[in-house]
Amino acid sequence: MSASAAGPEFGLLEANPGGSPAGHLRFEDEAGETYLEPFDLVDTLASVLAEHGQRAHAYDNGWIEIGDDGLFAFPQLVDFTELDGGTIRTASTIQCNHPRLFPQGLFEYQHATGETFDDSVKRGFDQWARTDLLALLDATRAEPETCMTMRMEFGGEDGAPRRERRIVFGPVASFGRAQQAEADAARAAACAADGEPADACEAGDDGDAHGFCPCCLFTNSLEAFRPLLEQPGLFALRLFASRDHQDGECQADCRVNGEDWPQGLDGLRDYAANWPSAPGQTIEFRKQYVIVQDAPE
């Protein structure tokens, strides 16, 4: 990677379905006439980052440098859909690169809905800035500033080299959790079974009570990610699990560096199947971004 006033020269990932970060959108009015509206995702992402107090510098080629630890981001539009009622649903991606930790790059999706295209994209970027970005930033630091971390050691037997890995747990986004004593008791029991202290499960690092500790999504699917733990390099995990408490159906989504990782689906679904229910409870989901990397010395 080299950088100039024009911007860093990172290659864009072929697996990333995103297109241009800027251009024009074609809409149709009530009379059937088409018209074009410009969009610029780089400007939108830079403004969202500024609202979150992040230092962001946008280069001429669209890359945005975030903070002072070498993290770069590049937003791209995947698609947008006009829904009934006039709202807009958007899908975008943000590719991130770091010249030392992950020069090859990784990406993740943002899905959102808003009254306008700009509002929808901004909602998706805002969620990314409050969750995924915090994990990425702490992954670039020797000492995390926001996220909970865990260290694990591998190797050291029969002459094998010893490897120490660090896991960075981003904030958990959750919806529909039952707020009752039974759920809290089940959570504490699960943490104890995992060897975690009960007080570690009281809240996420953003101060909101999630009813489980920030490591629960990962540790309950640990075996699926063991290959990533036992090899060098940085891997960014998207973990998502949901449960319909009405019919018991559990769903999951799992990606590594932006690409599907089906090995993690069964563990996430099994974990969701054990979430305690409360009367009248419907859909519940939990989503998190987790970074696995070599532990800083």
At 238-293, the pLDDT tens digits run 999 999 999 999 999 999 999 999 999 999 999 999 998 888 889 999 999 999 99
Q: What is the reported pLDDT for 188?
A: 47
Give the angle 75-91-33 at the CA atoms, nearest 5°: 105
List CB contacts of 156: < 8 A, sequence separation 6 or more.
162
From the CB of residue 33, how many other CB atoms can be counted at a distance below 10 Å?
8
pLDDT in tens, 48-95: 999 999 999 999 999 999 999 999 999 999 999 999 888 999 999 999
Which residues, in sequence order, are CB contacts of 32 under 8 Å at separation 6+? none
Identify the DSSP state of 181: H
Q: What is the pLDDT of residue 206?
A: 37
pLDDT for the residue 200? 41
Answer yes or no: is pLDDT of 3 > 60: no
Average pLDDT over residues 177-181: 54
Q: Is the torsion defined by CA of 192, 197, 203, 209 positive or negative?
A: positive
User: What is the spatial distance between Cα 224 and Cα 229, in angstroms, rounded to a whole number?
Assistant: 10
Query: What does the pLDDT read at residue 121?
Result: 98
Decide if 237 contacts 261 (C-beta within 8 A).
yes
